[in-house]
Every structure is written in structure tokens, then in C-alpha cells.
Structure 1
């Protein structure tokens, strides 16, 4: 085995992920990643215990993984976004451990990796290809590019404000928003919290407090899984959710006369109770609901 093997496995793994992870169902289970078949044998795409997968016979790390942690729990490694807008991935333990060396080799050889983000225990949203574009031993971390344009970003000095805003926006669109969407939808059992619709392609993760505001954090407790019609109605203050989880339709909407969508899709929601996740930590925070409900009342 050698460089040819290394290239074949990366190509095969990413080709499989493109076929497996569709817009309708973009997540993949841990068992699938561990059971990946390559050239007639099982070749796991993630490590069974570690966050970095560096298989024997490969020149560099193959994948990195961010474990799902429930809100309020401390993540084992504090990955995040640097001041330059690039993502960081922390070394695991001794920088000279073979997995961390594998990340450094990925930088040296410029090979693509896969990054798996946990959206619930045993379920991941994959990003690929990604590249290690810098090794920062003082901080025990590497810088990761999510797209080709970031691979050529100079880290020798401070980036411009325009570049920083662009890369922060890109990370928000490509990483934070999709991860938030999947975590919310999974927490709500892949069903609309109002009408119980289960078509994934028609479900959104609605923010209680918009993400452009300081309180609008990408946490499940600031979200609700809603179908597109109820998401739009919620954002437009056609309906609201009281702090006691009762759905309230605006008075003027209740008086309108129109077709079946208005009657069955909106008016009949009035007085129903929002269906929330079983885990209390994933349920909407009461103080966020209170603030948003006051805005709904003011709009009405």
C-alpha cells in the first residue's frame, strides 16, 4: 500500500458519501461509517474511539470527527472559528500522537479529508472535501478550510475585514446553519412541531429568536422543527407560540375566509399545543418563547 492506496480510498469514500447523503437525507449513521466497504473489505471511515482517523498504510489522516454534545454539556475538545474566519480542530492529547501527526501530514501533502459533525448520538453530518491549511502547535490545533477559496488564504498576517466577514459568513451558511437544522429536526423526531408533517424536504429549523440577534444562538433550545408553511407563518407573525406552548393564530387571520389551506393549515392550529422533544434540555427555553410571543402580540 502507499500513495496510490491513499488516493483510492479517499476518492472511493467521498464518492460514496455523495451518493449516500442526499439533500433529502444528508446525515449518515455511525454504523455506516464504521462498516464502509472498500475493495472487498471493511474499511472504517472514522475511528471507533478517537476523533481522528489515521489508518495504517495511509500517508495522512483520512477524517476528523466532532462529537455531538447536548446543550449545557462541555464538548471534549473546543473546536471553533478563529479571528481569520477559518475553522480550528484541536489536537487530541500528545501532539506527537500518530493521529495528530496524521493531521500535520495532511497539511504537508495537501490531501483532502472528511469532517463528520455529530447532530445526535451516532448520527453525523459530513463535510468533504476539507483541507488542513495550517498547523498551530502553540494552540495544539490545525486550521481547516471548508472550500477551495480558503486553501489559498495567507495566515502570515491579519486578514482584511472584508475577508473575515466573508469567511465567517461562509462558515455560518455552510456549517452552523446546516448543523443547527439537522440537530433541531432530529430532536423533534423529523416532524413539524405544529402539524406533524414528516416530509424531510419540507421541514425547516425555525429560530425562536433570529440568528442575526445576540440571543439567536444555534442551539436546539432556540429552535423548533416546522414545515415550510408554518415556519413562514411564524416568521411573519401570522401565528405565534405562547410560553405555555399553546399555538395562537392572529385574530384577523381567524376572521378571514379563504380556501382549505387557510382553514386547515393555519386557522385550525389555533389552540393546539406545540409538540416538543422529550429531553428537557432540547425543549424551547421559556424566556425565549416569552420574548418572541411579545413580538407576536405587538405585531397583531
Structure 2
């Protein structure tokens, strides 16, 4: 893109990239694949939004980095992505090798210039969930990393990061989880279940949730696919309310008093007729429901009944 020069090149490119993502990513299809990102066209010329080999994209004609990327790895091959969340509630992103590498300099430039970036987070091989705008809010060279803010409210907090109150830290942690961790968990779980409800097989992605088996409010509620179920919104609500439970044999159980009720077709066909049917499982064993989590959650369901 050597010919695409101008004093406002940086602003034009960032604006064009984010506007394209606004159009490209929809509730039914919020992810984008690697080839699309490598072949992004800006003002008539190919301008990749990610680096072909590195995690940080710093175009030659820009001073600062344009995007960062987290490669997809399955739950059995990686530490939980919460490890990137600091005690202050800000997410961290590691340098690309040598601190003086041009990509790391690009991250520091984005920090100094307060420029927005795009974070592409891998949810399966070659497929990414984009988060934007995000900002580099602190440089931590002694740890070979930068801190990343995913909401404008975190920019103000970063100015006094060393003296955040407990309330501010909790706010920052909640923002980071809601803006990045929860959407990543949702995409990974829904993909593992082939974009269908594990109970009724509904395939409208916009109507699917990633339900936790052990709630994320519980210390044992880890954000791994094996602690998740792809459920449509009605079955997610029924599962959380202990109207529906999942037996350790991975069959669906409807609470006895609900089976005895008489109501409309939703209750009859959507809930009562699910009793005794097998749970639809992911193809990969590593993604299937964790046995201990299912047993613990089933005990809570039985106690509620």
C-alpha cells in the first residue's frame, strides 16, 4: 500500500477497517476468517489487517500497530484465557519476542499516541472474533507485555492504575470479562456444538447462548468449553431455573412438578417432551461436558426439585 500515503493515512485506515468490521460481523455471524483479514482492501489496494506470521500487525507506512491477534488453541493445550487478566482488571498482551522488535515498538507507539486498535481473538482454527476499538493503556516492559483497555471507561481508570479502589478493580474486571471473555466463551461453545442447541437442536445462532454448567460466579466455573452447553434461550433459562436438569448419563430430565403441569404448546413440546432425550454432544471428546461439573450441577437440580 505504498501509494496510499497522506498525513491522515493512519486515521483513514483504522476507520476503514473498523467500518468494514461493523458491516461484516453480524449477530448471526460475528466472526471473520483469516483469508478475509489477509485480503482486506483499503482504497483500492490490499492491506492485511493481521500479520501473516506475527501476532502484532504494524503496517510499514504507519507509526503504530493496527491490530493484535490471539491464536486459537483448544482448552487442553492452553492455560485458561483468564490468566491474561491482571489484578487491576486490565487485560494483558505479551510482546512479540525482543522488546525492540518493530512490532513491539508499534504497540508502544499506539500507547503513546492513544490510538485505537483491533484485537482478533481466535475462537477456532483460522477464525477470529474481533474486538474494537481497544487501547494500549500501559506499557510494562519488565514483564514484556502491555495492558489493554476494552472500554473507554478503562482509559480513565488507567490514569490511576496503581491506586484503584476495590470497587474500581471489580468494575474493570467485570468490563474485561463481559467485553472479551464471555463473547469468546460463547463462540467456542456454540461452535463445539455445531451451532445448535444441545437440547432441541435449534440452529438459529442469534437465539443460542453458551450456558455455564458451573456458573462463572463460582470459583470452579472455569471458562472452558467442557464447562459449557450451547442452549437456545428458552432452554438456557429453564436450565438456570432448575426446570430442566442434565442427568450424569447425559440425558435430559424435566422437574417432576413441571411434567404434571398443563399449559400451551411451548411447555408441552419445548420442555415436557424433552424429558428422557439424550443431550446432543460435541464431536470432540475434549469439548464434551465435564463429568464432575455435570454431577455437581445435577445434584443442585435434584435439591431444587
Q: How does 1:127-146 map to 2 (within 5 A)?
A: 127-146=131-150
Cα drift, residue 25 of structure 1: 2.2
Contact in 2 for aligned 1:78/1:90 (Cα 8 Å): no
C-alpha separation in 2, matches of 1:286 and 1:83: 31
SS in 2 for 1:152: helix
Count of residue correspondences: 300
Q: Equivalent residue for 2:151?
A: 147
Partner residue, 1:222: 227
Partner residue, 2:32? 28
The more displaced of 224-233 and 153-162 is: 153-162
How far residue 28 of structure 1 moved from its aligned partner, in angstroms, is 1.3
Between the aligned partners of 1:263 and 1:226, the Cα distance in structure 2 is 18
Task: Choose from 286, 292, 298 the match for 1:293.
Answer: 298
Cα distance in structure 1, aligned partners of 2:235 and 2:161: 48
RMSD of the alignment, in Å?
Answer: 1.7
Q: Does 1:252 align with 2:257?
A: yes
Partner of residue 267 from structure 1, selected from 256, 263, 272:
272
Q: How does 1:54-93 map to 2 (within 5 A)?
A: 54-74=58-78, 80-93=84-97
Aligned to 2:99: 95
CA distance in 1, matches of 2:129, 2:264: 39
**TM-score, normalized by length of structure 2?**
0.94
Deviations 1:151-177 (A, max 9, x none): 223246331111101101111211111
Unaligned runs of 5+ in 1: none
Instruction: State whether residues 246 and 294 of structure 2, in contact with CA within 8 Å, keep that contact through their aligned partners in structure 1.
Output: yes
What secondary structure, in the 3-state scheme, does the structure 2 residue paired with 1:126 have?
Answer: strand
- Residues 79 and 89 of structure 1 are in contact (CA less than 8 Å); yes or no, is this contact kept in structure 2? no
2: distance between equivalents of 1:33 and 1:278? 28
Distance across 2 between alignment mates of 1:34 and 1:277: 30
Picking from 184, 193, 196, the partner of 1:179 is 184
CA distance in 1, matches of 2:105, 2:82: 19
CA shift, 1:2, in A, is 5.1
Which residue of structure 2 lines up, in the alignment, with residue 123 of structure 1? 127
Give matches, 1:31-42, under 5 Å: 31-42=35-46
Q: Which moved more, 1:213-222 or 1:150-159?
A: 150-159
Distance 1:78 1:96 in 2: 27
1:209 aligns with 2:246: no
